[in-house]
Each structure stands twice: as C-alpha cells, then as structure tokens.
Amino acid sequence: MSVRLLRRLLLFLCFISLSCLSVLSALAQEPRSDAAIGGQGVYFFTSSSSTTTTESSISGGGIASYRLRVRGHSSAELSYAYSRSTFYYAVNEEAVGGGNIFLSQQGSFHQFTAAYVYNFSPWHHLPKVHPFVLGGGGLALFRPISNNTNTVVGAASQGKGAILYGGGIDYPLFGAFSLRVQYRGLLIKAPDFWGAGLTAGSRMNVAAPSFQFVFHF
C-alpha cells in the first residue's frame, strides 16, 4: 500500500470518527426527558348554579411534573399539584320559603393530570426562549380539612373530572437546568364536599400560573 493511499485512508477514518462523535455529542445535548418542581398560585373563579354560588380564597401550593419528548415537537406530561383553600357557599332557599344560607369549608386541592405538549421552535429574536402549549385532563380531588370554622355538615372527600389547558416558556439557566413559567387552567365541576343540603353542580374555572425549576436528562 502506498504512503499516499495510507494517508487518504487515515484521513477518511478520522473524518468518520469525528462525524460519529459529532452525532453522539448532539444526541447527548438533546435530552428527551425532564423532571420539574416548583410553586403555583391557585385562583378559583366564582361559579353559580340556580341555587348555589361557590367562591374560594386565593391560595398557593406546589407542583411537580415529568415530561417526555415523544417525537418531533410533541411531548407527553404527567403532573401533580397541591394547594389548600377555603370554599364559600351562598345557598338560595327562597323557593322553599327561606333566605340565603352562607356556608364555608376548608379543603385541600389535589390535581392529577396528563397532557399533550406541543413545543414550538425558539423565536428568531429570542433564541433562548422555548414556548409551548398543552392540553389534557385528569382528576381534581378535594379533601375536607377539619377546623372550628367549617359550617358544611357531613363534608367528605370528592373527586371531579378536570379539563386542562395552558401554555408557557422554558428558559435555559445553566447546564441541564432551565426555568419553566407557565399558565395552567382547569375546568371542573364546582366542589361541594357532598355536604348535606348543598349541591353546587355548576362548572368552575381554575387559574393556576406556576414556575418550575427543570432538570433535563
């Protein structure tokens, strides 16, 4: 084998090796999964039926999620969030010869949700900003908390189906970490904790903006 041919072979092998390393490096820099944890604010919009008006105190809580990049721009997400609020009820009993009855119940609010996430390409003028939208559903679980101020008789734990929607952005911080800021909205039936003589029955919108610290792997 001539020296010239040997040199060409070595150059070819070096090129192939560098190309493989480049591909592996790119794959290593594009993790498919992330885990996130952070805090959220929870705001229940007023809900009214023919007899009952439901309101709630503004509260805050925690949220944790796992997200898997499935294909292209698509990801799947599982989340759990927790907060606690005081729920207020105004029951109109004029139809049976009464007036308005005012009740309250403190309870915890658990959110178990699954969502499809569409990840947009970074904006041209903001290359570090990664926007996304999400939609899905899950379970909203309300559990009564015992104290001396509760006036709902016979309060018990209650689960409600939830529709989830929202969107936000991811912003890289350093290494495998980023910051996620998002708005999450939930559409559910207003909780009544199975209280005696209390039937809400109307739909309630819940706004839950959140921030999370994200680890990509």
**pLDDT tens-place string over residues 107-160:** 999 999 999 999 999 887 888 999 999 999 999 999 999 988 899 999 999 999
Q: What is the pLDDT of residue 94?
A: 66
Instruction: Name the 3-class secondary structure at 98.
Output: coil
Q: Is the pLDDT of residue 214 over 80?
A: yes
Phi then psi for residue 202, to 5 deg, are -95, 165
**Containing H/E element for 25?**
helix 3-28
Do residues 15 and 37 both lie within one domain? no
Do residues 97 and 189 both lie within one domain? yes
Q: What is the mean pLDDT of residues 58-73?
A: 95
Residue span of the structural domain in which 47 resides: 31-216
| Bridge partners (DSSP) listed for residue 210 | 40, 182
Do residues 116 and 157 both lie within one domain? yes
Do residues 4 and 92 both lie within one domain? no
Distance CA 56, CA 139 (A): 19
Q: pLDDT: is 153 or 95 the higher one?
A: 153
Q: What is the mean pLDDT of residues 166-192?
A: 96
Q: Would you say 109 and 42 are in contact if contact means Cβ atoms under 8 Å apart?
A: yes
Do residues 25 and 36 both lie within one domain? no
3-state secondary structure 138-183: EEEEEEECCCCCCCCCCCCCEEEEEEEEEEEEEEEEECCEEEEEEE
Q: What is the pLDDT of residue 13?
A: 47
Of 33-42, 93-102, 189-198, the poorest mean pLDDT is in: 93-102
Q: What is the pLDDT of residue 35?
A: 97
Instruction: Annotate 70-108 with b (16+ C-beta within 10 A) or e (fewer).
Output: eeeeebebebebebbbbbbbebbeeeeeeeeeebebbbb
- Tell me how crowded residue 6 is: count the other CB atoms within 10 A of its CB: 10
Do residues 23 and 127 both lie within one domain? no
pTM for this one? 0.81
Do residues 167 and 188 both lie within one domain? yes
Do residues 40 and 145 both lie within one domain? yes
Residue 85 sits in a domain of what CATH number? 2.40.160.20
Residue with tokens 């939208």: 133
| Bridge partners (DSSP) listed for residue 168 | 132, 182
Q: What is the pLDDT of residue 196?
A: 77
With a pLDDT cut of 90, the percent of the chain lying above it is 69
The whole-chain average pLDDT of the chain stands at: 87
Do residues 187 and 211 both lie within one domain? yes
- Domains: count for the chain: 2
Do residues 38 and 25 both lie within one domain? no
Do residues 17 and 71 both lie within one domain? no
Do residues 50 and 133 both lie within one domain? yes
